[in-house]
Structure 1
Amino acid sequence: MSEDVDRHAMKMAKKKAARDKIMATKTDEKGLVIVHTGKGKGKSSAAFNMIFRHIAHKRKCAVVQFIKGGMSTGERDLILEHFTDLCAFHTMGEGFTWETQDKTRDTEMAQAAWAKAKELIRDESNHMVLLDEINIALRYDYLDIQEVIAFLRDEKPPMTHVVLTGRNAHADLIEAADLVTEMELIKHPFRSGIKAQIGVEF
C-alpha cells in the first residue's frame, strides 16, 4: 500500500512540474471571441455564467438577446433586479423564428440588435458582451456573417471579450474565434415528453 502511495505521489509530482512549465509560458492577455454552439443544452447557460463572473468581479458587461422574446428567465430577472449598474441587458428579439413567422420583421429586429451590440462592444468600459442566439440570426441571413467577423476583427477593443451563442455557428465565425465549444446532445428529457422547466431551461 505504501509503495502505491509513493508511486502515485511521484507521478503527480511529475505531472505538476510539467503543468507548471506549460503554465509559465502562458503570459499574454487579450479580449477573446468566444463561440458556444452545438445541439446540446447549455450554450447560453455557460455564457451567462461568464457574465455572472464579471458581475462578481465588479466588471461591467452587457447582454444582447437576438432571438428570445420578452419571456421571464432567471438570468434576465436577476440582472434586471439587482445588477443593472454592472450589466446592461437588452432583449431585442420577439421570439424564435418559428413563432414570429415574419422574416422581414425578424431581420429588422436582428439588425437593431446588432446595432446595439456594436455600440456596447465599442464601449471599452464593458469587459464582456454576450450576443445570445446571434448564431441563429446569422444562420437565417438576418445579418451578414462577413460584416460581423470584420467588426469583431477591426473594431472590437483589444481587451473586450465577446461571446456568441446559438446552434449552427457559421464556419467562418468558428475560424475567426479564439475559443469555440460545441455542446453535444447525448440525452434530453424533451424527447421523453418532459417540458422546459423553471430553473433548468429558464
Structure 2
Amino acid sequence: MTEQDDNARHATKMAKKKAARDKIMATKTEEKGLVIVHTGKGKGKSSAAFGMIFRHIAHGRKCAVVQFIKGGMSTGERDLILSRFSDMCAFHTMGEGFTWETQDKSRDTEMAQAAWEKAKELIRDPSNHMVLLDEINIALRYDYIDINDVVTFLTEEKPEMTHVVLTGRNAKDELIEVADLVTEMELVKHPFRSGIKAQIGVEY
C-alpha cells in the first residue's frame, strides 16, 4: 500500500467518524446547571474544580468558592482569586484545617455547618453561575453535615442553571446518585509515598 493509499483510507475513516460524531452532537441540545462530583483517592480533585472556576472567570461569569476543610494556609488559587478576581469570584475559607490537625469534632462540626449555610446562600444567588464546595465530601464523610440536607437542597432548591462542584474523597452514594457528572480520581503513583513533600505549584 502506498502512502497515498494509506492517507486516503485514513481520510475516509475520519470522515465516517466525524459524520457519526456530528449525528450524536446534533441530539445534544439541552443546557442545565450541573451537579459535579470529583472524588477518589487520586490527586487532582480540587485542581480540576479550580480549572472550571478559572474558566468561568475567563468567560466573565461570576462564581464562588467555599472551602470546607482547608484552613487559612496560602494557596495559589486562593491568592490569585483574592488579589486579581475578587470581583468575579467570592472566596470563603471556612474550615480550620484537616480533621487530624484540629482534633475537635464539635468545632469541626460547627465550622462545617457554617460553611454549608454560606454555600447555600451563594448557590441561591442567581448571579453566581458556578459554586465550588471544596472538600465538602470530607465533612459529609464525618457527618459534620447531613447528607440528606445536601441532597434535598441540590435537587429542590438549586437554581436550574447554576453549576455546583463538590470535591473530596469518599463521596456519599446518595450524592453520586443525584449528580450529573461524577469523576473518580484513581491513584496510580504519588510522590508522597517516596518521601516527597507537598510542593508549591503542584499541591498548593
Provide the TM-score with structure 2 as the length reference: 0.99
Q: Distance in 2 between matches of 1:80 and 1:94?
A: 18
**Aligned residue number for residue 121 of structure 1:** 123
Matched, 1:171 2:170: no
**Aligned residue number for residue 12 of structure 1:** 14
Q: Distance in 1 between matches of 2:163 and 2:35?
A: 6
CA displacement 1:76-132 (0-9 Å, x = unmatched): 000000001000000000000000000000000000000000000000100000000
Of 42, 64, 73 in structure 1, the residue corresponding to residue 44 of structure 2 is 42
**Aligned residue number for residue 71 of structure 2:** 69
Q: Distance in 2 between matches of 1:171 and 1:148?
A: 12
**Where do 4+ consecutive residues of structure 1 move more than 4 Å?**
none
**Aligned residue number for residue 112 of structure 1:** 114
> Offset of 1:183 from its aligned partner?
0.3
Matched, 1:193 2:195: yes
Q: Distance in 1 between matches of 2:156 and 2:174?
A: 15
**Structure 1 counterpart of 2:58, one-letter code:** A
**Structure 2 counterpart of 1:65, one-letter code:** Q
Structure 2 counterparts to residues 11-160 of structure 1, below 5 A: 11-160=13-162
Percent of aligned pairs sharing the same letter: 85
Q: Distance in 2 between matches of 1:173 and 1:45?
A: 20
- SS of 2:131's partner is strand
Unaligned runs of 5+ in 2: none
**Structure 2 counterpart of 1:81, one-letter code:** S
Give the paired residue count.
202
- SS of 2:90's partner is strand
> Offset of 1:46 from its aligned partner?
0.2
Unaligned runs of 5+ in 1: none
Q: Distance in 2 between matches of 1:59 and 1:5?
A: 43
Q: Distance in 2 between matches of 1:147 and 1:87?
A: 25
> Offset of 1:170 from its aligned partner?
0.2
**Aligned residue number for residue 163 of structure 2:** 161
- SS of 1:136's partner is helix
- SS of 2:197's partner is coil
Q: Distance in 1 between matches of 2:47 and 2:117?
A: 24
Q: Distance in 2 between matches of 1:90 and 1:66?
A: 9
**Structure 1 counterpart of 2:34, one-letter code:** L
Q: Distance in 2 between matches of 1:68 and 1:153?
A: 27
**Structure 2 counterpart of 1:164, one-letter code:** L
> Offset of 1:155 from its aligned partner?
0.5
Q: Distance in 1 between matches of 2:4 and 2:71?
A: 61
> Offset of 1:194 from its aligned partner?
0.3
Q: Distance in 1 between matches of 2:181 and 2:65?
A: 19
Provide the TM-score with structure 1 as the length reference: 1.00
